[in-house]
Structure 1
């Protein structure tokens, strides 16, 4: 029996282990719960601001604290904790996240809100690691990664629609966070479908495997790309206002961009095996640069719509190729476990860095910063290619 299982693992879609389709779907759903907030922040944090719970500066602190905490949580769980007892770890993290969401619903000071969302972020990052740990063990990690981003974005879109149309108008931001807590508790049923233990990767996971030029260049390329998107996404409404586009229209553009993200994720899942990851990342970087420059040029409504939709499409289209980049950089697959952390740090740091360049009411430096980030991402890909060639050329 053991030899049969080993043969299936060797010849199948998995480097080690052989999870069923239900087990894989359960792990991806657990990770998706950890990232629901990414699509819900405009709705929930916007409601907090409208209700007067936070000022604009405090709102930015709440959002940034949670994003950085997700990145830290995903890295810590993936790198420092063993992939054992994953069902119970998933359950504990879901309960912790439910408690943090409940705390957020009743927090009455900005300091409490920041603390609650930071705690939520750590739990959310741990849930993301439940999915990425299993993805790293697949021979087709980029395809499974495509399924992951598609699932999470569909869930974000559905829940954002529910909250925006029904929950928040009736029960305010507190009602929205209570719904998130209920989703976490309902997901406990799914947690016990996750594989109990993930089989060890063929080579030891070790932080030293990441401390190489190819791995660092690959992760920094991912980081810079998500800085590009994070900067534009955070300031899309004031950019639109500067160019004469009203807030309601920008809200529609945001919703349409989320739909474009779903389409991008699904398209990448279908085509990831047919396009070389280096070509894909370079081409997407060029599109990101062009879109940023369009936004910096003071576009009209139609052009603004087009640039925002293109940015939404490429955001998740690139993810499977970034996973392939990380796997190529580090065959032990340690680096790929840090891809979510690099993405989330980019999303968090992008708005902060871009905000330092804003001069009064002129937000044009934001897309200019985004353009520079896109160029840096492609340049780091070039560094990765050169470092990889040098490594292979050494005797």
Structure 2
């Protein structure tokens, strides 16, 4: 963040550097552009399926390839590249993403679609790293992380509404991806407000720092939690159909779920400093298990609504506390840079793992798998706490 202040020592709010509010906001927006697709996949990929560009199986491959590529991109760029020349890197990644979105709009085969979305995912992951690198340098990383998830979810909701009501009815899925490309190109102007170089963290960042039991336990806890949500989110419509809930109603539930994700993120931003991260993660894990068990028990329409909406409320509420968990596990803050990758891999692997348990048209094993994933997240937190206490006792 030498553009904001060349001194390595930060001010009261930053470990190193001193970015202005505009520079911080621009970095968070760049990261949000990288994650727009998370809220738009149901709209855009649904349009691709309706138009006959992909089959059901191919649709799953397209979605999974992009999610995994985002996780790889965010981890690889954060770990392997220096946090310098960030303006140029941001601009290049935005243009690459714009090209990938245009390629998606004009792709003629499922193979070319998968390839285009995989390239898009790598660029999107790089954009996420622009934001997370800066968040990791803040003394209030949890709070800024809460602002980040709030901004990205608000942008997803607004763009999803625009695409669903106006763009896709008029121009189809191709029009939707062209709009995404336009957003990327317009955001290049914002890229030149990002701090050109982020000052180095107090300790040298090395990948080996992450390969410790506490860091791995923390990241696996994050991964398992997002497997819980990813599995239910992917199969919400067929699960509802099994219980006699029509697709239109499930679509309304999805829209309300996104709105509650925004509310959850905003609420966490307000309360993150007042709640111990361990209590928050355990409490949310218990709620996640309970909601999943309810969905596995053939609920009626009202109970189905409530359980699904609770899942949306807690999804992003937990993120600031997961950031605090990663910081506690690794004082070099390298693990924090891998939190988005753990989240995205969980969202991608959850549906794939849950699909292996589906028996014919019985989708109840999906929420059962989700409950087990949420429980595993809490168990891994417990493992982390035990290891941390043991190390303090030895020290």
| Aligned match of 2:318 | 318
- How far apart are the structure 2 equivalents of 1:367 and 1:10? 46
Answering whether residue 193 of structure 2 is matched by residue 193 of structure 1, we say yes
- How far apart are the structure 2 equivalents of 1:148 and 1:313? 16
Do 2:97 and 2:124's aligned partners in 1 also have CA atoms closer than 8 Å?
Answer: yes
- Give 1:188-267 correspondences, 5 Å limit: 188-267=188-267
Answering whether residue 180 of structure 2 is matched by residue 172 of structure 1, we say no
**Which whole-Å deviations, capped at 9, do the CAs of 1:23-62 have from their partners, x for residues lacking one?**
0000000000000000000000000000000000000000
Answering whether residue 56 of structure 2 is matched by residue 32 of structure 1, we say no
| Aligned match of 1:136 | 136
| Aligned match of 1:388 | 388
Q: What displacement does 1:393 show?
A: 1.7
| Aligned match of 1:100 | 100
| Aligned match of 2:159 | 159
Answering whether residue 305 of structure 2 is matched by residue 309 of structure 1, we say no
- How far apart are the structure 1 equivalents of 2:111 and 2:10? 51
| Aligned match of 1:84 | 84
Do 2:11 and 2:18's aligned partners in 1 also have CA atoms closer than 8 Å?
Answer: no
| Aligned match of 1:53 | 53
**Which whole-Å deviations, capped at 9, do the CAs of 1:195-250 have from their partners, x for residues lacking one?**
00000000011111111110000000000000000000000000000000000110
**Which whole-Å deviations, capped at 9, do the CAs of 1:86-131 have from their partners, x for residues lacking one?**
0000000000000000000000100000000000000000000000
- How far apart are the structure 1 equivalents of 2:308 and 2:254? 8
- How far apart are the structure 2 equivalents of 1:44 and 1:356? 25
**Which whole-Å deviations, capped at 9, do the CAs of 1:360-395 have from their partners, x for residues lacking one?**
000000000000000000000000001111121223
Q: Gaps (5+ residues) in structure 1?
A: none
Q: Gaps (5+ residues) in structure 2?
A: none
For the structure 1 residues 155 and 287, does the alpha-carbon distance in structure 2 shift closer, same or farther, using more than 3 Å as the test? Answer: same
**Which whole-Å deviations, capped at 9, do the CAs of 1:297-321 have from their partners, x for residues lacking one?**
0111111111111000100000000
| Aligned match of 1:350 | 350
Instruction: Could you list the structure 1 runs, at least 4 aligned residues long, displaced by more than 2 angstroms after superposition.
Output: 5-11
SS at match of 2:90: helix
- How far apart are the structure 2 equivalents of 1:207 and 1:382? 24
- How far apart are the structure 1 equivalents of 2:193 and 2:68? 29
Q: What displacement does 1:9 show?
A: 4.7
Q: What displacement does 1:329 show?
A: 0.1
Q: What displacement does 1:10 show?
A: 4.2
| Aligned match of 1:360 | 360
Q: What displacement does 1:165 show?
A: 0.3
- How far apart are the structure 2 equivalents of 1:29 and 1:272? 21
Do 1:222 and 1:342's aligned partners in 2 also have CA atoms closer than 8 Å?
Answer: yes
- Give 1:273-292 correspondences, 5 Å limit: 273-292=273-292
- How far apart are the structure 1 equivalents of 2:11 and 2:308? 43
- How far apart are the structure 2 equivalents of 1:52 and 1:216? 42
SS at match of 2:84: coil
Q: What displacement does 1:11 show?
A: 4.1
Do 2:257 and 2:309's aligned partners in 1 also have CA atoms closer than 8 Å?
Answer: yes
- How far apart are the structure 1 equivalents of 2:10 and 2:107? 51
- How far apart are the structure 2 equivalents of 1:205 and 1:313? 34
| Aligned match of 2:116 | 116
Number of corresponding residues: 393
- How far apart are the structure 2 equivalents of 1:82 and 1:8? 15
**Which whole-Å deviations, capped at 9, do the CAs of 1:169-198 have from their partners, x for residues lacking one?**
000000000000000000001000000000
| Aligned match of 1:75 | 75
For the structure 1 residues 17 and 238, does the alpha-carbon distance in structure 2 shift closer, same or farther, using more than 3 Å as the test? Answer: same
- How far apart are the structure 2 equivalents of 1:161 and 1:392? 50
Q: What displacement does 1:8 show?
A: 10
| Aligned match of 1:329 | 329
